[in-house]
Structure 1
Amino acid sequence: MMSNWHTLTPASALRRVVAQLDTTVCDIGIGVSMPLRQTSVGLHSSGEVLRGGDSDGRASLESLSNTPAAAVGFSNEALNIAHGRDVLEEMDYGRLRSLDLESRSVWGNESAADGVLAELARVQGFDRLPVLGGPADVDAVVAARGQELFRGVNNPRYAEEFKTGPYFAGQLETSSFGAGTYASTDREVALGYANDRPEGVIRMALRPGARVTDIDSLSTEMAEVDRELGSELRLLEGVERSPEQNLRRDEVNGQRDLILSDMGRYATARGYDAYHLGLDSGDPTWVLLNRSALTVER
């Protein structure tokens, strides 16, 4: 019975999963049901599955999933979802500084992406391709309490690249809300960005269980981290410098200059899939970071 899953496309597998989704999720290994809790952005289980991935981008099955597809245990090859982690202390800040300088050297070029965000996305696996499907596939994700979203682009080629091409990290410093892929819950807003051309509108859904936050919470989190790093930097400045202390000082400065300077970069470094500008306030804007967490209409 399980072998049938191996013959399904990612989109059709996801539809089949959603059709079977209930209010509990079962641990395949031990047969224990675990309750799902509802939040404003989707369904989360108290376990986690699909973490990390190998060199060809396939996620590995470890325990329980907060992804509906994994709840019934089909092949881990059916979906290609990357689950983020905190990589703030793992990054090579010398390399990131070089990428930042390179991005700034071509600032204003429409095709020039934020090199720092692109590297963070690569490390997290957020540059993997989305699941592609038909309207019914996106409907199924939305029915499972995924977040329906629309993105408008002024060139249909950009829509195709978003679905099947290399990850585009967004342009450097083009928004005060951070680097990333901007989308809206309102199709009419997206249509305006597409110059009223329907072929320039991308319809998609962010998976249930995606790790998301809002801009106010993100700002508070960033301010606290910045205070902690500032305190550490003052301590480092007040002692005799060793090679190790000099290295740590460079890392702290890199984190403040290159990560905390931009919401999108910071959220990606901390493993968020997306953030929104305020659902309660009625702002329809979302900033997407993890392309693999999306089901996109062809």
Structure 2
Amino acid sequence: MLGRTGAGPADDGVAEAAALGLDRDAVVLLVGGARGITARFAATLAAAGHCRLELLGRTAAPEGPEDPATAAARDRSALRAALARQGVPLPKVDAAASRLLAGREVAATLDELSALGSPARYRTVNAADPAALRQAVKEVHAEYGRLDGVVYAAGVIEDKVLAEKDPESFRRVFATKAHGAAALLDALAELPARPRFTVLFGSIAAALGNRGQADYAAANDALEELGARWTLRTGGRALTVHWGPWAPSGAHGGMVSEELARDYRRRGVRLIDPDAGTLALLRELAWGEESVPSVVYTASGW
């Protein structure tokens, strides 16, 4: 059963997209990259409404075809070996492999969105850079003269119990989520018209806590407060969705590391099915009570 409050799962999302005015002329901005659950929700929007999608993320966009020497390596282990053969120093192999895999996921997402009928564009913008984020919002609105929906899903996870947490790590986790959202909401408040919906991707850790995630819980609690204050200030709708953990989906990873996934299994916590999760959100936006500032979605008890 998906949902702890909220409107629940949808069918194929087409009726919900129509209710939100998401047609081929509509423009939706997604901040948080073209990977993971951000990409999965973008695909749901594309399939249901065929709207134009603008994606912002910190992953560097691929520049042309990948080197054949690494392109044939389809998993991290093979890619690490290929990079080592190219002479990449061993201490840098992991980071280089991560960059290539992330770039592949971005490219795959854009291909998927196009195949589903949505024009899509990706640009590299770090949500932790408020000036760059505000500028990107203004540029998107200036180009199309409208911004119908916004999804803020940026965030980093660096789990550690608080006694072992480095202050700089805490700051990085908190700032990416909360400071980035504040910059985005300020930029939206300056537009001539508010988007029809603004969604802030939070975490169930903010509502119920989770070991090793004091920084992430604090950031997502602040996220909900920022959204509520923005609604009071502007009259626009800002919904914070506190997600439980998501299962991987095809090329897109979930929200949890392998280690955390094992911990969830030990605790009997199931992962959210990506189709159920994205359709539930679309239904919430279309039919949910607009006065509700936040919802919690989970696949099982916590």
TM value normalised by structure 2: 0.27
Asked which structure has the greater CA Rg, the reply is: 1
Q: Which structure shows the higher helix fraction?
A: 2
TM value normalised by structure 1: 0.28
Of the two structures, which has the highest relative contact order with CA contacts closer than 8 Å and spacing of 6 or more? 2
